[in-house]
Amino acid sequence: MAHKRLPRFALEYLEGGAEDEAALLGERRAFADWRFLPRTLVDVSGRTLATSILGQSAAMPLVASPTGLNGILHAHGDCLLAQASQQADIPFVQSTMSNDTMEEVARAAPGVRHWWQLYVFGGDEIWQELLRRAERAGCEALVLTTNAQIFGDREWQRRNQIGNARLSASAALESLTHPLWFAENPLSLGLPKFANIIDFVPKDQRSFFAASNWVRAHQPTSLSWDTVAKIRQRWNKPFILKGILCPDDVRRALDSGADGIVLSSHGGRQLDWTVAPLDLLPVAREIVGEKIALYMSGGVRRGTDLLKACALGADAVWVGRALLYGLCAAGAAGAARALAIIKAEALDAMGLLGANRIEELGPHLLAHAGRVA
Ligand SMILES: Cc1cc2nc3c(=O)[nH]c(=O)nc-3n(C[C@H](O)[C@H](O)[C@H](O)COP(=O)(O)O)c2cc1C
C-alpha cells in the first residue's frame, strides 16, 4: 500500500541506504543467518511479550525509532506515529528533523512515552535550547545520534533533487501521479517545515530541501565524547547514545553516563559496509552486562526478528521502516496495524519456540548459519 501511495522520491527516501546499500542488505541477511532451535511440548499457554523499558512497563520490547521528514510520508506523520505508539504502549522517539513540533506531538498523543532524538548542529546554544524545550514538553528521555555528523552518500537523492533546494522536474511530475499523497502535499503549498528547528535556519534557507541540507552542512564533525559529557551534564533524565557499532565504543559508553545504547547503522543510510547491529549484540551484551540498557536497530521487519534480537541480548529493538510502511499506507491506523502484526507474529513465534516470556529467550534457542553445536 505504501508503494502505491508514495511518489518515487519519498519512497526512495524511506527505503534507501547509502552507496552500495551493503550495510542495508547486510542487516536483513544477518537475521536470515540465525535459525531457531525450538523447544516443543512446552506449556506456552501463559505467554506474554510484556517487558520493561527504562524501568517502566511496556507491551513489548519495541521502540518506535526516530525518523526525520515523516511529514513527506504522511501529513502530521510524527503525531500519528506517536498516537500509534501510545496505543500500543511502547515509547516513541521524535527526531530533530521531524515536521510536527514536540509540543504538538505531546498534545496529539497524551500519555505517550515521548523521547527526543538530538542531532547536534550549529552552536551549543541550539542543542541547549532544544533540551530545554524537550524537558518542558515532557520528554522522558534524550537520544543522541552519534553516527550522522557526516551525511551518508545516498545516491538516489541526486536523481530526485536539483542542486540542494528543489525536486527535479521528473520527480515533481511523478509525484502528480500519486493523487492521495499529492492531496496532502500540494507542491504549490510547499512541503512541510522542520517545525522544531526552522528558527535556527537562515531565512533564505528555510524551504524543505534547503533547510534539511543546511542542517546537514552545519553538523560539527568535532562531535566527540567531550560533547557527550557536556550534553549529559545538562540533561537529568535518561540519556541514550544511538549509533554505536564497535565493541570499544560499547565499553567507552559505560563510562559516559549514558543509561543505554542503540547498536545501529542508521538503517544502512550512513557508513556503508558496516557489520550488522544484530551480529554485534552477543559481544555488546557481554560488555554491558546489566549495567546499562542495550538496544539494537536495523532490519527488524517481523516478530521473529524481534525474538532473534532479544535472544542475542537486546533489551528491545528500535524499529524504523516497518512502522513507516504502516504510516504511509493508512496514517495512525496503519502504524498501529504494523505494530499489531509484529506483536502477533512475535507472540505466536515465541509459543512455537517454547517460551513464555521474553526473559526466557537466549542464544541457546539459536543456531548460526544453521550450524548446530
Ligand atoms: C526514513 C528514515 C529516516 C530516519 N531518520 C532518522 C533520524 O532523523 N534520526 C535518527 O537517529 N535515525 C534516523 N533513522 C534511523 C532509524 O532511527 C533506525 O535506526 C533505522 O531505520 C533502523 O532500521 P529499520 O528501518 O530497518 O528498522 C532514519 C531511518 C529511516 C528509514
Number of domains in the chain: 1
Ligand 1 proximity of 7 Cβ (cutoff 6 Å): no
Is 127 within a domain?
yes
Ligand 1 proximity of 11 Cβ (cutoff 6 Å): no
Q: Is 222 annotated as a binding residue?
A: no
Q: Scan for cell 516497518, then name that residue.
A: 322
User: For position 186, what pLDDT does the model report?
Assistant: 67
Q: Is 119 annotated as a binding residue?
A: yes
Query: Can you state the percent helix, strand and coil of the chain, rounding each to 5?
Result: 45, 15, 40
The CA distance from 280 to 285, in Å, is 9
Q: Beta strand 51-53 with 56-58: parallel, antiparallel or unpaired?
A: antiparallel
User: For position 188, what pLDDT does the model report?
Assistant: 53
Q: Is 268 annotated as a binding residue?
A: no
Is 240 within a domain?
yes
Is 172 within a domain?
no
Closest ligand 1 atom number to CA of residue 28: 26
Rounded to the nearest angstrom, the distance between the alpha carbon of 146 and the centre of ligand 1 is 13
* pLDDT-flagged residues of the chain (< 70): 186-189
User: For position 187, what pLDDT does the model report?
Assistant: 64
Is 100 within a domain?
yes
- What angle in degrees, to the nearest 10, is found between the helix axes of 277-288 and 247-254? 40
- List active site positions: 266
Name the closest-CA residue to atom 8, ligand 1.
Answer: 68
- By residue range, what is the domain housing residue 77? 20-153+218-368
Rounded to the nearest angstrom, the distance between the alpha carbon of 267 and the centre of ligand 1 is 6
User: For position 13, what pLDDT does the model report?
Assistant: 95
Cell numbers standing for residue 206:
528555510
Is 286 within a domain?
yes
The CA distance from 198 to 101, in Å, is 10
Ligand 1 proximity of 60 Cβ (cutoff 6 Å): no
Q: Is 65 annotated as a binding residue?
A: no
Ligand 1 proximity of 14 Cβ (cutoff 6 Å): yes
**What is the phi-psi region of residue 284: left when phi exceeds 0, alpha when psi lies from -120 to 50, beta otherwise?**
alpha
* Cα-Cα end-to-end distance for the chain: 42
Name the closest-CA residue to atom 10, ligand 1.
Answer: 66
Is 238 within a domain?
yes
Closest ligand 1 atom number to CA of residue 96: 8
Q: Is 320 annotated as a binding residue?
A: yes
Name the closest-CA residue to atom 5, ligand 1.
Answer: 67
Rounded to the nearest angstrom, the distance between the alpha carbon of 244 and the centre of ligand 1 is 14
Read out DSSP for 137-197?
TT--EEEEE-S-SS----HHHHHHEETTTEE-HHHHHHHTT-HHHHHHS-GGG-PPP-TTT
Burial 103-133 (b: 16+ CB within 10 A, else e): ebbbebbeebbbbbbbbbbeeeebbeebbee
Ligand 1 proximity of 84 Cβ (cutoff 6 Å): no
Is 126 within a domain?
yes
Rounded to the nearest angstrom, the distance between the alpha carbon of 157 and the centre of ligand 1 is 16
In 3D space, the residue among 340, 338, 245 whose CA is nearest the CA of residue 294 turns out to be: 245
Residue 158 C-alpha from the chain's centroid: 24
Ligand 1 proximity of 85 Cβ (cutoff 6 Å): no
Q: Assign residue 240 the CATH number of its domain.
A: 3.20.20.70
Is 176 within a domain?
no
Rounded to the nearest angstrom, the distance between the alpha carbon of 161 and the centre of ligand 1 is 21
Closest ligand 1 atom number to CA of residue 242: 11
Give the DSSP H/E element, type plus range, for residue 316. Answer: strand 316-319
